[in-house]
Structure 1
Amino acid sequence: MAIIENWLPPSRENWNLLCTVWQYFPLVTAIQWLVDWYPMGKTSTESRFNIPGKIGWATMESVGFMTLLYIMFTLPKELGIKELPWWNWAMAGCFVIHYLYRALISPLFLNPSMSPIHPIPWLGAFAFQVFNSISIAGWIAGYGPSTADDWAGNHWAMKIGLVVWALGLLGNMFHDDVLREIRRAADRKQREEAKQSGKPLDGVHKVYLIPERGLFRHVLFAHYLCEWVEWAGFWMVGGWNCHPARAFLLNEVSTMYPRALQGKRWYVKKFGKEMVGGRKAIIPGLI
């Protein structure tokens, strides 16, 4: 049963239209080059409309993998496909595993705290997830390769792509945890100080430091770099003609790159050029 007729799951015509429009998303991100206002994360601002960080992140990110799973289980039936090939499910699994970690496990169970999110970036991220998941799900649920023969001749590239994806995911998790440890250490210190003073702990105040471990020795946003590697591997699995995976990677780069440059300016303003040193924003030695 369709949730939205011809959109969830999408008809081929609507899917083609959405994929065409989605390739122009980098034009939307141009505004990030013009303004530094980005009210979430370390650049969060005070607003009565703010959404609590953990809830905001979980709700705006989880819609993607839920939409993808819904289409994976409904579209093939509408197209008369009895069974999708293993590689289709492998790509779906890569997507779902990433977002189970990013949308649920990380914010709700691993992060000690998260800054509030303004509704505007929340809506933008929610829309990103909807467009992206429909684009990718349509391709792997029937509008792309739908038989084992469609995947023939490219298995080595797909296997290498899976390895690249896994390395990117592990790198993303590792560098996320480096950032979490800064907050965990602050949490432990503030709780110990409250215990020694005999005063109740009135919340844990956020502490920002320049991370030092792993690729953070060379760049300020190593977790972004690892996510780009991850989705480059995902594109390799789908093949170079997998335009939804290509659009996903390029759209992530187009929105995360200016955000990283903005973040670098924030680090320089807060800690000074000498403390930031020669660290680049995302790619060691380049940008």
Structure 2
Amino acid sequence: MDPTNMFSFGRALYLFNEARKWFTISSVLTAPVLLVIDAPFGRFTPKDQSSFLIVDGRKAWMLMELVSPLMFIYTFVTSPLTAKAPLLPSPTEPHAILAICFLLHYANRAIISPLRTPSRSKTHLIVTVSGIIFNVINGSLMGSYLSSPYGRMYLRTVSSPTFYTGLTTWALGLVGNIYHDEILLNIRRKANSKGKGKNGDDKNKSEHYAIPQGGLYSLISYPNYFCEWVEWFGYALAASPLPFRLSDLSLSTIIPTLLNLQTYKDIINGPASNFAPLLSPPWIFLLSEFLLMLPRAYKGHKWYHSKFGASYPKERKAAIPFIL
């Protein structure tokens, strides 16, 4: 199937391809920047919090994360890449199941998890604004893709083992993400209970950090990140074909292409419709998450070693077991 022949033609398709192209490119370009600077939220929130740009972490998080499911619902229902929006699918149809999975993830991420968090560091407004922009684009791309003729056609023809393997991987990743987040939440709960006086007043408003233990924390510092990558890998596997042809995986062609400056000129200047035609939104989301979260995990891993010194397990990697 050729994706370019499966969509309606018009402004919606033009915007879809432009968003697909520049969302990918911006993630690739932002990743090395995040290796140099610390995104100002969480443990890297500026110590001087008197600026009006430093905002409540819980409210900011919920605001920016709710944007993604809202945009997803809007584009999934209106189906901008079809000439006429189809009727809402049965909950048992593959693209409806994937829509439910997407919304379940964000129900936890945007509502349940922040409401259960005993405390959350303040965040810089630029993080909130950046998160909103990311989620507007990503939610729109994902909803548009799953409701598109190409997305629905693929899910009708994909083999059941591939679809259910992807769904199972998604579920395992989601459970792992929640499990390891809960370990961090328990550290905060214990710190908060120790910081309360007899009358329930907080004696210590500062964030408390300890060395997490349990699960994949025995191997890596950020298993919640790793599990989220596993989750979205499974989702992409279920929702979309691979973003490359296996016949193209040859070092003799890949390396010269990457070393050729003309390759990057063609990517930037070429029409968005020609940009990586097999790279669908589910794979773009996985790629973007990996590129943007890995620098954070690496910097956070170094922070753990700096804060806890010799007490921090030397055998732990940052975010990928046994590798990095």
TM-score tier after normalising by the smaller chain length = 0.7 to 0.9
Q: What per-residue deviation string (whole Å, max 9, x for no partner) do you get for residues 4-29 of structure 1? A: xxxxxx71221122112222121122
2:21 corresponds in structure 1 to 20
CA distance in 1, matches of 2:146, 2:186: 37
Superposed displacement of residue 30, structure 1 = 2.1
Superposed displacement of residue 183, structure 1 = 0.7
CA distance in 1, matches of 2:104, 2:182: 17
Indicate conservation of the 8 Å contact 1:260/1:281, yes or no. yes
Correspondence 1:279 to 2:281: no
Q: What per-residue deviation string (whole Å, max 9, x for no partner) do you get for residues 200-228 of structure 1? A: 43454421001011111111101000000
Correspondence 1:101 to 2:93: no
Indicate conservation of the 8 Å contact 1:165/1:231, yes or no. yes
1:264 corresponds in structure 2 to 301
Unaligned runs of 5+ in 1: 1-9
The 5 Å alignment of 1:125-144 reads 125-144=131-150
1:80 and 1:260, CA in 2 relative to 1: closer, same or farther beyond 3 A? closer
Correspondence 1:159 to 2:161: no
Indicate conservation of the 8 Å contact 2:195/2:203, yes or no. no
Match of 1:30 among 16, 32, 38: 32
2:219 corresponds in structure 1 to 218
- What is the SS of the residue equivalent to 2:284? helix
1:53 corresponds in structure 2 to 57
Count, aligned residues = 271
Correspondence 1:82 to 2:87: yes
2:120 corresponds in structure 1 to 114
Match of 1:179 among 169, 181, 184: 184
AA partner of residue 292 (structure 2): T
Indicate conservation of the 8 Å contact 2:77/2:88, yes or no. no
1:272 and 1:75, CA in 2 relative to 1: closer, same or farther beyond 3 A? same
2:71 corresponds in structure 1 to 67
Correspondence 1:249 to 2:250: no
1:99 and 1:200, CA in 2 relative to 1: closer, same or farther beyond 3 A? closer
2:262 corresponds in structure 1 to none
TM normalised by structure 2 equals: 0.78
- What is the SS of the residue equivalent to 1:171? helix
AA partner of residue 111 (structure 1): T
- What is the SS of the residue equivalent to 2:287? helix
Indicate conservation of the 8 Å contact 1:68/1:134, yes or no. yes
Indicate conservation of the 8 Å contact 1:158/1:239, yes or no. no
Indicate conservation of the 8 Å contact 1:219/1:282, yes or no. yes
1:71 and 1:281, CA in 2 relative to 1: closer, same or farther beyond 3 A? same
Unaligned runs of 5+ in 2: 1-10, 243-278
Superposed displacement of residue 188, structure 1 = 1.8
Q: What per-residue deviation string (whole Å, max 9, x for no partner) do you get for residues 25-60 of structure 1? A: 21122211222x321011111332211011010001
The root-mean-square deviation of aligned C-alpha atoms, in Å, is 2.0
Most deviating of 76-85 and 225-234: 76-85
Q: What per-residue deviation string (whole Å, max 9, x for no partner) do you get for residues 161-188 of structure 1? A: 1110000000000000000000111122
Indicate conservation of the 8 Å contact 2:232/2:282, yes or no. yes
AA partner of residue 190 (structure 2): A
1:169 corresponds in structure 2 to 174
CA distance in 2, matches of 1:213, 1:122: 31
TM normalised by structure 1 equals: 0.88
AA partner of residue 69 (structure 2): F
- What is the SS of the residue equivalent to 1:11? helix
The 5 Å alignment of 1:226-245 reads 226-241=227-242, 243-245=280-282
1:62 and 1:199, CA in 2 relative to 1: closer, same or farther beyond 3 A? closer
Indicate conservation of the 8 Å contact 1:79/1:142, yes or no. no
CA distance in 1, matches of 2:72, 2:24: 18
Superposed displacement of residue 84, structure 1 = 3.9
Superposed displacement of residue 274, structure 1 = 4.4
Superposed displacement of residue 280, structure 1 = 0.6
Superposed displacement of residue 151, structure 1 = 1.8
- After TM superposition, where is structure 1 displaced by more than 3 Å over at least 4 residues in a row? 82-85, 198-205
AA partner of residue 122 (structure 1): T
